[in-house]
Amino acid sequence: MSRFFATGSDSESEESSSADEITPKTTGTTFNKPALLLSDDEEDTKRVVRSAKDKRFEELTNIIKTIRNAMKIRDMSKCLEEFEQLYRAFLKSKTIVDKEGVPQFYIRLLADLEDYLNQLWEDKEGKKKMNKNNAKALSTLRQKIRKYNKDFETEIASYKENPEQSAEEEEKDDIGSASSSDSDDEDVTAKSLMKKKPQEEEKKAPEASKFLKGAADEESESEDDEDSEDWGSDSVDSGGESEDNEGAAASLAVVFLKKAQDGDKHPDRKKDDKRKRHKKTEQVEEEVDEDGEAEEGGWEKVKGGVPLVKEKPKMFAKGTEINSAVVIKKLSEILQARGKKGTDRAAQIELLHALAGISNENNLGEGILVKIKFNIIASLYDYNTNLAAFMKADMWKKCLECIDELLDILFANSNIFIGENIAEDSENLAISDQPFRVRGCILTLVERMDEEFTKIMQNTDPHSQEYVDNLKDESRVCGIIDRLLQYLESKGSTEEVCRVYLRRIMHTYYKFDYKAHRRSLGLQGETKSEQDQEESEGEDSAIIMDRLCKFIYAKDRTDRIRTCAILCHIYHHALHSRWYQARDLMLMSHLQDNIQHADPPVQILYNRTMVQLGICAFRQGMIKDAHNALLDIQSSGRAKELLGQGLLMRNMQERNPEQEKIEKRRQVPFHMHINLELLECVYLVSAMLLEIPYMAAHEFDARRRMISKQFHHQLRVGERQPLLGPPESMREHVVAASKAMKMGDWRTCHSFIINEKMNSKVWDLFPETQCVREMLVRKIQEESLRTYLFTYSSVYDSISMETLSEMFELELPTVHSIISKMIINEELMASLDQPTQTVVMHRTEPTSLQNMALQLAEKLGGLVENNERVFDLKQGVYGGYFNRDQKGGYQQKQNYQRAPDQRGGYHQKQGYQRDQKGGYQQKQNYQRGGYRNQNQSSY
């Protein structure tokens, strides 16, 4: 494009003409194309030529910006991805870094990123809220950054010692990078050329220059900045004229590059001026703030990120007479802001406390004080808007103190009547001859307090000291419930008394009463302290439970409270080994018939009660009852979930997040858990004592049923093991014991069931450990004897009972009793010879060949039945053996004859036919031709 197509001013045309004149003068150079840079088309699409250092460092800074943005939003996956890109980009710029040194902005990022990751790693609550990808990326990135930063330990240490100085050095490096790169006048670089061009275009098109330079050329800049820009443009013109006049042989690009040094100095001055201006404005603002604080005294400097707190409403103006009406009006004003958006709930609680103090100072009566206390406790409950969130420790302490104070006031003043049925219009809060009437329900507040305590225990790590400290508050909670119980017994309705009784029961039923247990065993020590003696003289938990539960049985009108009370009562009986009372109460209640219609918390309580009942039966030696009680829970494979002690991960897919939150709120606190390993061990040992003798008795029975599927599964798992070593887990111990019992070796079975490892894991957890071990040894001996007789009865003609007594270390009467029961129940075909004390076998048991023949006959019979059924379906006769006739009777399904003749075929099978007299004719069987009818035969 020639200069005639340009639309610029005269000065622009002069510059272009001078440029055209200069270009022919260049001799001995091949740099002929810079003249084209002045055409308009080329100005629209600019080429930016930068040094390798600028390119590499700009790439690094862009990645660093992305990393910092990801750090702000805690996107660990993005941080990890960008950090890997940063590592690769840094490797590319290795040659430049070796020359220039590691840039400060890179060191600063490494230090900040490591501190940030360590902070996130220590924040356990924050890690729990992270999703799976972010948590995984956090651990990976933390390992990588720790390993990577070892190469930059000295630089990072120097940065951490003086971060401000390193930041200033970084700014100086950024600002002076251009001037340092062009220190010589004759050094021709593309960077100085590109810095020169925007200044000239700024003179030609001010709007375009504003857009390109951004915030550097805003309208708010001072006149000094504009003058400096004008000076820069004049210098360009003068430079051009001097070149024309002197007739130098330099190219047009050299002209621009030489003057770029002057232009590069202006950004330094602009940035310095901006910094000075910014500091001045900050100082002025601070002075204004200080003046405002001095004058009014109510202004506060608010930091960014903190929500603005509205001005607290003043309690009362000066000179206001404080009486009941004024305080009640102020209370209603405070309560009007409750629940509104932007209300500071902590400030609201403080205001209510201040109002209670004012009421006390002015002796406005207990009625107003009770009203304010009710609202303080309600505000403490409302502090957490989320239902799943639990109260913080300080709020929890305040809540307990406020409820205690409220109960103190109610006990001290018998003329205060509270209740939800009192309307707000009929309240009497002022001091008068009439008793105080306050709307509110203390029972609801205590129930909510109990629920908050449960939430605190659910959300605390059960293996931490904090859990123990929180659990100590249960004594205060029970104390408050006891005080409320005394208050409602005198002033509450029957329904309220039942509700508070249930709360007391729920804090008692799962605790083992060691004092009562020691008293029952006669272990009361004489050297105990006075406090221990006073506690031991207190009422037994069994008496308390009996009194509270019987009141609910008699007075309660709601099924839910009565159901919960019955289940807690059964649980408490079972926990203290009162097996018969617990069993009878469970059978009389008939809860097992309709428990599936109850709500989930009651179902969880029912499952816990059944499990405790089964463990109690096991301790008492009722092996079959224990197995039946534990069968439903253990066979499901979801004992943990059914007992409310945790959620199974495999079912997490089936619930949405909302359902998962609801399930977590139903979980039982850790101190109420039942040991799942103990539960499984009790179940497997019970199944072993029942299943092994049964398997020995029905070894060749094809239709043998399984008593416990889970036990058989454990046996199959043990048989599939390629290498059988000594047992380690509880399950392996039970499987090894089962194999020993199968062979009649009771000593090996005993050593696998009762040893140091099993004692520490299971048996020592029972309150009467020694009794349980003795019972187990006895049961193992008896069942091993039964198994031995079932297995080896075909080998003996007779066996002495004395020999059996010595083999299994049982008393002779016990052996006699076991064998007699087996003979009576027809389990063992033998007889007892009393004079010789021997067992004589009758040899009626089939041999192994006969057993196999019987199994074959049974299978063939089943095959014939199936073929007949399929044949009937093909012929269209369907509906069972009996088809109803017209007379109302039943005729048996008629089978089809094989041949029409009566000689070689089968006669038709006639079923029962009802005659007119109401009797039944005898069924005629299949007869082959040549045989007489069964009716004609004589018996």
Question: Which CATH number is 775's domain given?
Answer: 1.10.10.10
Q: What local confidence, expressed as pLDDT, does residue 523 receive?
A: 64
| Residues paired with residue 438 on neighbouring β-strands, in sequence order | 418
CB within 8 Å of 176: residues ≥ 6 apart:
268
Residue 818 has pLDDT above 70, yes or no: yes
Could you tell me the pLDDT band of residue 5, with boundaries at 50, 70 and 90?
very low
Same domain, 825 and 732: yes
Residue 451 resides in a domain = yes
Q: Average pLDDT for residues 896-903, to the nearest whole number?
A: 42
Same domain, 682 and 560: no
More confident residue, 248 or 374: 374
Q: Helix, strand, coil shares of the chain as percentages rounded to 5?
A: 65, 5, 30
Residue 528 resides in a domain = no
Tokens of 176: 């002076």
Over the chain, what is the mean pLDDT? 75
- Written as one string, the DSSP assignment of 245-257 is HHT----HHHHHH
Q: What is the C-alpha to C-alpha distance for residues 928 and 930, in angstroms, rounded to an integer?
A: 6
Alpha helices in 597-745 (DSSP H): 600-619, 623-636, 639-642, 657-665, 676-697, 709-719, 730-742
Domain limit, last residue, from 140, 161, 182: 161
Domain limit, last residue, from 608, 638, 667: 608
Residue 719 resides in a domain = yes
Domain limit, last residue, from 807, 841, 875: 841
Q: What local confidence, expressed as pLDDT, does residue 719 receive?
A: 84
pTM (two decimals) = 0.60
Work out the percent of the chain whose per-residue pLDDT is above 70.
Answer: 68
Query: Measured between alpha carbons, how far is residue 525 from residues 515, 538, 774 in Å?
Result: 11, 16, 26
* Angle, vertex CA 635, rays to CA 633 and CA 640, nearest 5: 45
Count of structural domains within the chain: 3
For 382-425, how does the pLDDT look when each residue is reduced to its tens digit (9 = 90+)? 887 776 678 888 889 999 999 999 999 889 888 888 888 887 77
Residue 738 resides in a domain = yes
Same domain, 387 and 484: yes
Q: Containing H/E element for 910?
A: none
Residue 334 has pLDDT above 70, yes or no: yes
898 φ/ψ angles, rounded to the nearest 5 degrees: -80, -35
CB 902 within 8 A of CB 915: no
**How are beta strands 838-841 and 798-800 bridged, if at all?**
antiparallel
Same domain, 366 and 482: yes
Same domain, 708 and 581: no
Residue 890 resides in a domain = no
Residue 192 has pLDDT above 50, yes or no: no
Q: How many CA atoms lie within 13 A of 285 on its CB side?
A: 7
Same domain, 697 and 835: yes
Q: Average pLDDT for residues 769-795, to the nearest whole number?
A: 91
Same domain, 467 and 553: yes
For 851-886, how does the pLDDT look when each residue is reduced to its tens digit (9 = 90+)? 888 889 989 999 999 999 898 888 875 444 444 444
For 732-776, how does the pLDDT look when each residue is reduced to its tens digit (9 = 90+)? 999 999 999 998 889 999 999 999 989 888 999 998 889 999 999
Query: Measured between alpha carbons, how far is residue 888 from residues 878, 884, 916, 918 in Å?
Result: 19, 6, 11, 11
Q: What is the C-alpha to C-alpha distance for residues 440 and 380, in angstroms, rounded to an integer?
A: 16
Same domain, 703 and 587: no
Could you tell me the pLDDT band of residue 263, with boundaries at 50, 70 and 90?
very low
- Flag the least confident range among 119-133, 195-209, 259-273, 536-550: 195-209
Q: What local confidence, expressed as pLDDT, does residue 877 receive?
A: 58
Name residue, tokens 């709120």.
665
Q: What local confidence, expressed as pLDDT, does residue 196 receive?
A: 41
Same domain, 603 and 681: no
Residue 440 resides in a domain = yes
Q: What is the C-alpha to C-alpha distance for residues 70 and 79, in angstroms, rounded to an integer?
A: 6
3-state secondary structure of 151: helix
Residue 877 resides in a domain = no
For 464-478, how does the pLDDT look when each residue is reduced to its tens digit (9 = 90+)? 999 999 999 999 999
More confident residue, 793 or 167: 793
3-state secondary structure of 799: strand
Give residue 372's identity as a one-letter amino acid code: I
Q: What local confidence, expressed as pLDDT, does residue 202 receive?
A: 43
CB 727 within 8 A of CB 752: yes
Could you tell me the pLDDT band of residue 527, with boundaries at 50, 70 and 90?
very low
Same domain, 680 and 545: no
Q: What local confidence, expressed as pLDDT, does residue 413 receive?
A: 84
Same domain, 604 and 685: no
Residue 740 resides in a domain = yes
Sign of the C-alpha dihedral, residues 476, 477, 480, 481?
negative
Name residue, tokens 């902070």.
119
Residue range(s) defining the domain that contains residue 428 = 324-519+540-608
What CATH number is attached to the domain comprising 350? 1.25.40
CB 783 within 8 A of CB 693: yes
How far the first Cα of the chain sits from its last, in Å, is 134
Same domain, 695 and 593: no
Name residue, tokens 């249960």.
474
CB within 8 Å of 32: residues ≥ 6 apart:
23, 26
Could you tell me the pLDDT band of residue 270, with boundaries at 50, 70 and 90?
low
CB within 8 Å of 443: residues ≥ 6 apart:
484, 488, 492, 496, 499, 500
